[in-house]
Each structure stands twice: as C-alpha cells, then as structure tokens.
C-alpha cells in the first residue's frame, strides 16, 4: 500500500516536471534549472511591448527553476554595458537580451562570452554573428511588408499618405521603412507627402502629425513604424476631426489592438514576442543543462496581421488561431 | 593675525556654551555624504551577498568613474555659480569624433586625401574638440552675457545634433582600427586595467588629485571660489572674472570628452545617443557632495563622494533587481534629501 502511494507520488512529480513545461512549449524537451541565474535585459518597460517581453521571459525562467534578475537599459548602450558587468560579476548562467544597439552591443556580448556566459538575443539583431548564442527576431522587413500590403488595400491603391519613422539610430526603424517603401513604391498613385521621425514616441508623433496636417489637409492614410507613434497620430487626427484617415502600425501592442476595436487604428502587425521570449529562455535552459547551443544562430519568426476581423483572438501579444 | 585669534577664541567660547549635541549634529550634517555612503554600503552589504565581492566593487567603481569625471568638471562650473547642461551631449559628440577618426579618418576633400591618425592623436583631437565646445559655452556666457543655463542648454541641442548628423544617426561600429592604417588599440582604454583596476578608474583618480590641487593650491582655484562667492567683489579685487569663468567651461568640456572616449572605447562603438541625461547625473553628484548651486561653496572631493553615493545606490538597486521605475523615484528622493540637509547646514552656520 505504502509502496503504491510512493509510486503514484513519483509518477505525479515526474509528470509535473516533465509534462507541464513541455505542455507550455509544445514539442521541445526543456530541462529544468537548479536555481542558476538568468539575467534578462530589455529596453524600458514604459513600452508595454518590452514589459510583456521581460515578464514572459521571467515567468518562463522561474517556471523552469531559475533565479532571475530583470534589468532595463533604457536604450542606452552604456547602461547596457554596465548591466553586463553586473551579470558577469554575479556569475549569471545566461543572459536574455533585447539589445540597445546593433553595433554598440557587440563588445559587451563578446565580453560575456569570454566569461563563459552565452547571450540569447530577442527582438533585435546585432551586426555580428558567432558572438551571441542565438538571435531570435521577428523578421522586421516581412512584418513591414505585411502591414504595407494591408495598407495599400485600405487605401484602394491611391491617395496621399504620411509615413512616421522610428528612432533613426535604431536599425529596425530603417528596416521597417524599407519594407513599407518596397511595397508602396509599386503603386504610383499612392503619394508620400511627408516622412518624419517621431522617435518611437506617442507625444512626438502627436506633435509631428498635427504639424503635417497643417500643410497636408488632404491625406488619406498614415503608416507608422510602430504602434505608439500610430496611436499618437490617431489622437492628432481625431483632434482635427479626421476620423476616416487610415492608420496602420506595427508591434501589436494591447493599446493598438484596443484602438483598432474602437475604430481608431485600422491594423497593426503583431510580433509574437511572447513566443520568442519563451523560446530564448528554453534555449538558454538547454544550454545551461546540456551545453548544447541552438543549431541555428539566427532564427526568424513571422509576424501576424491584426485587423478588426481578428482582434477578439488577441490577448497581450498573443494571437490565438 | 590677532584679530583672527580673537575670532577663534570667540568661536571656542560659543561651542563650550552650546551643548555637545549641537556640535555633534553639526559634524554629522557636514559629513552627510560620507555618512550616506557608509549607510548605503552597509545596507547593501547586509541585504545582498554579492554586493561586497571584489568583482562587484570593481565594476561599481568603474561605473562611478563616468559620473565622477563629469562631476569634476561640473564642480568648477558650479563653484563659479554657473551650470553646464551640455556635458551629456559633449560625451556623445566626443565618442562620434573618435569613432569617425578611427573608422573613416579625417577626410580632406580639397586635397582628395584621407588621413588616419594614431590612437593617441585621435584621443588628443577628441579632447581638444571637447575643450573647444566648452570654450564656445564659455564665450557665449562671458562675452555675450547669456545666462549659463540657457547657453549650455543651447549647446546641449547643438552638440547632440552634431553627434547625430556625423553619421546620420548611425553608430560607428567596431572601433578596433587596422594594422595597415596604424590606428589599432583604441578598445584598450576601456578594456585594459592596471593593478586590477580599469583605466577609467585611474583616470578618475588622476583627475581628482589634479582637480583638488587646482581648486586648493592655485590662484585659479581660489579665483573660482571668489567668483562664486561674490562676482562683483572678485572683479573689484582684480580677478579676471570672464577669463576664469570661461576656463571652467573648458575644463568641463575636457572632462566630458574624456568620458565620451571611455564609453566609446568600452563599447568598441560610438553611438550618437550616448550620454543623454548625463548632465543631470553629474549635477546630482555635485549637489550630493555638498556644493552649493549658488556657487562659492563646495569641494571636488565632495563631488567624488556624491558620485559614489549615486553609484552605490544604482548598483545596489540593480543587484536587488528593483523595478527601474522605483530606482528613478529613490534616486530623486535621495537628491532632494541631500539638498534639504544642505540648506539645514547653511542655516546652522548662519546662526553661529
């Protein structure tokens, strides 16, 4: 009797340790940690995108039995560099990083590597290979293409439009803009009347949009490098009573999806960051326990279009089928 | 001399009349930065096992060096009663200058040639650029009578714009130079160390000693205090107020460029947004160190302690994994507390 109870208990424990994590992460067999430290470094949590990114990574790491230290670099490469020093001196087992600059992040990642700490990049790439353990990024170019194709359809292939650029020091801003222009450039009746940077910021986008409207009252659409700027543009358009201008963003933040539901924005492109945060932690865990690195360093994940037709399937950066 | 003696005995008499508590209180208040530093060190040492490890203390000091070096220049400026808001932008610009010189060389279009300099010359040019921007600050303030706050605010924008313009918002990557061009070795400044301490820490130590010497022992140092204490009186007693004031901004520009070099070297890349809001950290270090924003009162050494207070606080909070939003609030509260205590000290002194 006693033995049978023990047997069942062991079986249950096995189920919990093996099945639960694998349930969370489909088919991959992820080993559990023993309290090693995983340091998670992201841009400021004032953007819900990065907040969710850090939260998902932290939850996943703790679920697997790791200690976590969540740090924020505020897009300042120097601060990021200091955080790497902290991670190294704390003897971290792995670093999960959404980096502060494609070039400026190479040196600290290399330093961590020399100290035996692998860095798993999420969301943004760096301009070097063979240094990071993996680079899990959504393909910004194809995300932008998906958004632009939907935008062209909304516009009916004609009319004046405005493009809002992200921070020009950020590689993604350029890549996204390239994606937009490659698609829209094929339609000669779509006229780009203004391109302005709003530094990823909602307030700046509001101001820029207000100014642009002064000179271009006849615009029909706005395509924005991210959602926060798109929301700023929507606010400016609504203030000017121009509710029928099409606005398309990128990132798939909860705010943007709420705006789509309320008829403000018209579409956004979701980067499935919940997926890559969790994947990066899983890969880190595999490395820590077995010493195996992911086969492919660069792993790109496709984006999903969020429109008024599918907003009900969306919840905090996850779009269920 | 006799009069001074009288003053002394007068003071002595008063202190014996007062209770010993007041004396202790006064000492405590004047040592507040030190006390805050030791309290913080003690607190973090207790709550976090890894705080007092050698490796953590080294990186803590390395992080402090950035703020301390900026703070040294800022101390001179603030002692004259001025302020330098442009230091963060100069940090960014200096990095870009060094990055451009290493990766692209000096392009002379008229002659159709590109000159690549040895790393030492790159460092020298960068420091000169920093001093030049400081000079521009100084000229605007002293020759055109623009308030320091406004003049350096303007230069904050100009220098940041120049930094962004220099590579169109892009980063100068991989600043390792090349053997053929004879400009290798730049990363050594940020990565190298002497006796277990990074070069940036040694630079901080050398600059501190130099600055303390200048402030205490040279006529220039005394004139800086005189200007901050009473500009008109300084002028009347023969101090060349404009020249001395201008020089303090040149010193600040030099310190900023030095920080720009250190950061670009540590990152092996020059990022145009580097140094944003550094000016506020530097001012905070100066104020925490007991230097009065009105000028005339304060010490370089106090600023270094102030920089350590901020650095220890940051490092400890990071180790604790405290929310970055909370970190900002706590930093703000500490700065305000420091100034409140500073005012308390001023009032105590006036009463006596």
CATH architecture of the domain B31-351 equals Orthogonal Bundle (1.10)
Q: Is A104 on the interface with B (CB under 8 A)?
A: yes
pLDDT at A20 over 50: no
Q: Tell me, what's the pLDDT at B29?
A: 65
Please indicate whether, in this complex, the C-beta atoms of B267 and A107 are within 8 angstroms of each other.
yes
Q: Does A10 touch chain B (CB under 8 A)?
A: no
Q: What is the pLDDT of residue A96?
A: 95
Report the alpha-carbon distance of residue A57 to residue A119 in Å, rounded.
Answer: 14
Of the candidates A44, A76, A106, the beta carbon closest to that of B268 is on A106
- Between β-strands A246-248 and A268-270, what pairing exists: parallel, antiparallel or unpaired? unpaired
What is the reported pLDDT for B18? 56
State the Cα–Cα distance between residues B95 and A91, nearest whole angstrom.
Answer: 30
Which among B56, B173, B318 has the least Cβ separation from residue A103?
B173
Query: Which residues on chain A are in Cβ contact (under 8 Å) with B315?
Result: 86
Do B272 and A90 lie within an 8 Å CB cutoff? no
Could you give the 3-state DSSP secondary structure of residue A3?
Answer: helix
Is a pLDDT exceeding 70 seen at residue A2?
Answer: no
Q: Are B288 and B309 in contact (CB under 8 A)?
A: yes
Q: How confident is the model at residue A58 (pLDDT cuts 50, 70, 90)?
A: very high
Q: Which residue segments constitute the domains of chain A, with CATH numbers given?
A: 20-138+273-301 (3.40.50.2300), 140-270 (3.40.50.2300)
Contact B60, B315 (CB under 8 A): yes
CA A79 to chain centre: 20
Please state, rounded to an integer, the average pLDDT across all residues of chain A.
86
* Beta-strand relationship, A304-306 and B193-194: unpaired
In this complex, which of A71, A75, A78 lies closest to B267 when CB atoms are compared? A78
Asked if the C-beta of A89 comes within 8 angstroms of chain B's C-beta atoms, the answer is: yes
Closest CA to B75 of B269, B334, B284: B284
User: Which of the two residues, B345 and A50, has the higher pLDDT score?
Assistant: A50
- Contact criterion met (CB < 8 Å) for A82 and B59: yes
Are B315 and A86 within 8 A, CB to CB? yes
Residue A58 CA to residue A69 CA, distance in Å, equals 8
Asked whether the beta carbons of residue A77 and residue B267 sit closer than 8 angstroms, the reply is: yes
pLDDT value at residue A8? 52
| Closest Cβ–Cβ partner in A76, A78, A86 for B319 | A86
The whole-angstrom distance between A106's CA and the closest CA on chain B is 8
Which chain B residues have a beta carbon less than 8 Å from that of A102?
Answer: 171, 173
Cβ contact, residue pair B324, A44, below 8 Å: yes
pLDDT band at A203 (very low <50, low <70, confident <90, very high): confident
Cβ-contact B265, B164 below 8 angstroms: no
Look at residue A4 in the predicted model and tell me its pLDDT.
55
Cα–Cα distance measured from residue A25 to residue A27, given in angstroms and rounded to the nearest whole number: 6
Mean pLDDT by 10 residues, chain B (352 residues): 41 50 70 81 86 86 93 95 94 93 84 84 94 96 93 95 86 82 84 88 95 94 91 88 94 96 89 88 90 88 92 87 84 83 74 64
Tell me if B63 and A70 make a contact (CB, 8 A cut-off): no
3-state secondary structure of B231: helix
User: The complex's ipTM?
Assistant: 0.74
Could you tell me the two tokens for B272?
A: 């145009």
Percent of chain A at pLDDT exceeding 70 = 91
Other CB atoms within a 10 A radius of the CB of residue A151 amount to 24
Q: Examine the pLDDT at A217 and tell me if it is beyond 60.
A: yes
Q: Which long-range contacts (CB under 8 A, 24 or more apart) does B6-12 make?
A: B11/B352
φ/ψ of B312, rounded to 5, equals: -65, -40
Q: Helix, strand, or coil here: A122?
A: strand
Report how far residue B224's alpha carbon sits from residue B245's, in angstroms, rounded to the nearest whole number.
7
Reported as half-sphere exposure (CB side, CA atoms, 13 A), residue A18 has a value of: 6
Tell me whether A45 touches chain B (CB under 8 Å): yes
Q: Where are the domains of chain B?
A: 31-351
Tokens of A47: 């953007």
Q: Which of A203-207, A226-230, A314-318, B336-340 is most confident?
A: A226-230
Is 90 exceeded by the pLDDT of residue A268?
yes
Q: How confident is the model at residue A3 (pLDDT cuts 50, 70, 90)?
A: low
- Check if A195 contacts B (Cβ < 8 Å): no
Q: With an 8 Å Cβ cutoff, is A72 touching chain B?
A: yes
Q: Any idea what DSSP says for residue A312?
A: G
What are the Cα distances from residue B100, in Å, to A107, A128, B104, B162?
18, 20, 5, 12
Look at A311 and B202; give whichever has higher pLDDT. B202
How far is B235 from B17, CA to CA, in rounded Å?
39
CB contact under 8 A, B187 and A85: no
The more confidently predicted of residues A246 and B115 is A246
Predicted local distance difference test score (pLDDT) of residue B11:
41
What's the confidence (pLDDT) of residue B231? 86
Give me A77's structure tokens.
């490469």
Cα–Cα distance measured from residue A190 to residue B105, given in angstroms and rounded to the nearest whole number: 42
> Residue A137: is its pLDDT beyond 80?
yes
Residues belonging to chain B with any Cβ–Cβ distance to chain A shorter than 8 Å? 50, 53, 55-56, 58-59, 62-63, 66, 164, 168-174, 187, 191, 263, 266-276, 315, 318-319, 321, 323-325
- The pLDDT of A144-148, averaged and rounded, is 93
Question: Is A129 part of the contact surface with chain B (CB cutoff 8 Å)?
Answer: no
Strand segments (E) across chain B: 106-108, 113-115, 193-194, 197-198
Per-residue pLDDT, A22: 40
Q: What is the pLDDT of residue B24?
A: 75
Interchain contact, B59 vs A85, CB within 8 Å: yes
- The neighbour count for residue A188, using CB atoms within 10 Å, is 8
């Amino acid at each position: 009797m006693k033995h049978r109870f023990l047997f069942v208990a062991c079986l249950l424990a096995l189920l919990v340790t093996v099945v639960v994590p694998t349930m969370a992460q489909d088919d991959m067999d992820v080993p559990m940690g023993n309290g090693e430290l995983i340091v998670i470094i992201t841009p400021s949590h004032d953007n819900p995108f990065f907040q969710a990114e850090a939260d998902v990574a932290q939850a996943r790491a703790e679920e697997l039995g790791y200690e976590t230290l969540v740090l924020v670099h505020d897009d300042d490469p120097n601060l990021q560099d200091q955080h790497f020093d902290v991670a190294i001196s704390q003897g971290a087992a792995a670093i999960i990083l959404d980096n502060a600059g494609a070039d400026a992040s190479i040196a600290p990642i290399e330093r961590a590597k020399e100290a035996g700490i692998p860095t798993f990049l999420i969301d943004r790439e760096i301009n070097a290979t063979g240094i990071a353990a993996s680079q899990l990024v959504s393909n910004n170019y194809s995300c932008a293409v998906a958004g632009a194709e939907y935008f062209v359809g909304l516009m009916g292939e004609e009319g004046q439009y405005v493009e809002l650029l992200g921070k020009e020091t950020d590689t993604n801003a350029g890549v996204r803009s390239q994606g937009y222009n490659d698609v829209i450039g094929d339609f000669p009746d779509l006229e780009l009347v203004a391109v302005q940077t709003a530094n990823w910021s909602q307030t700046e986008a509001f101001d820029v949009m207000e100014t642009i409207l002064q000179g271009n009252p006849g615009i029909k659409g706005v395509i924005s490098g991210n959602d926060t700027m798109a929301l700023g543009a929507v606010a400016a358009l609504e203030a000017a009573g121009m509710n029928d201008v099409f606005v398309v963003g990128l990132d798939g933040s909860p705010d943007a999806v709420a705006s789509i539901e309320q008829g403000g924005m018209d579409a956004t492109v979701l980067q499935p960051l919940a997926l890559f945060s969790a994947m990066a932690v899983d890969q880190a865990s595999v490395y820590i326990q077995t010493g195996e690195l992911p086969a492919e360093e660069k792993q790109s994940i496709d984006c999903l279009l969020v429109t008024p037709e599918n907003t009900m399937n969306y919840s905090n950066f996850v779009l269920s089928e | 001399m006799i009069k001074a003696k009288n003053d002394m005995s007068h003071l002595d008499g008063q202190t014996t009349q007062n209770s010993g508590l007041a004396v202790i209180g006064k000492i405590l208040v004047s040592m507040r930065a030190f006390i805050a530093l030791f309290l913080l060190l003690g607190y973090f040492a207790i709550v976090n096992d890894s705080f007092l490890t050698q490796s953590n203390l080294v990186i803590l000091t390395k992080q402090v060096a950035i703020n301390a070096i900026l703070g040294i220049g800022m101390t001179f400026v603030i002692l004259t009663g001025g302020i330098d808001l442009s230091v963060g932008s100069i940090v960014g610009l200096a990095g870009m200058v060094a990055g451009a010189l290493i990766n692209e060389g000096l392009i002379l279009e008229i002659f159709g040639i590109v000159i690549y300099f040895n790393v030492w010359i790159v460092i020298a040019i960068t420091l000169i650029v920093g001093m030049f921007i400081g000079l521009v600050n100084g000229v605007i303030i002293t020759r055109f009578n623009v308030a320091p706050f406004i003049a350096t605010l303007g230069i904050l924008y100009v220098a940041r714009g120049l930094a962004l313009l220099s590579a169109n918002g892009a980063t100068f990557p991989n600043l390792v130079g090349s053997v053929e061009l004879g400009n290798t070795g730049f990363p050594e400044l940020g990565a190298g160390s002497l006796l277990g301490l990074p070069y940036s820490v040694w630079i901080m130590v050398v600059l501190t000693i130099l600055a303390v010497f200048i402030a205490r022992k040279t006529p220039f140092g005394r004139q800086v205090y005189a200007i901050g204490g009473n500009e008109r009186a300084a002028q009347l007693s023969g101090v060349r107020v404009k020249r001395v004031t201008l020089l303090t901004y040149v010193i600040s520009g030099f310190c900023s460029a030095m920080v720009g070099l250190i950061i670009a070297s540590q990152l092996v890349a020059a990022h145009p947004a580097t140094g944003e809001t550094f000016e506020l950290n530097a001012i905070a270090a100066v104020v925490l160190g007991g230097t009065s924003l009105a000028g005339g009162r304060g010490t370089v050494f106090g600023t270094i302690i102030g920089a350590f207070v901020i650095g220890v606080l940051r490092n400890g909070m990071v180790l604790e994994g405290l929310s970055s939003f909370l970190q900002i609030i706590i930093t703000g509260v500490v700065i305000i507390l420091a100034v409140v205590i500073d005012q308390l000290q001023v009032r105590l002194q006036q009463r006596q």
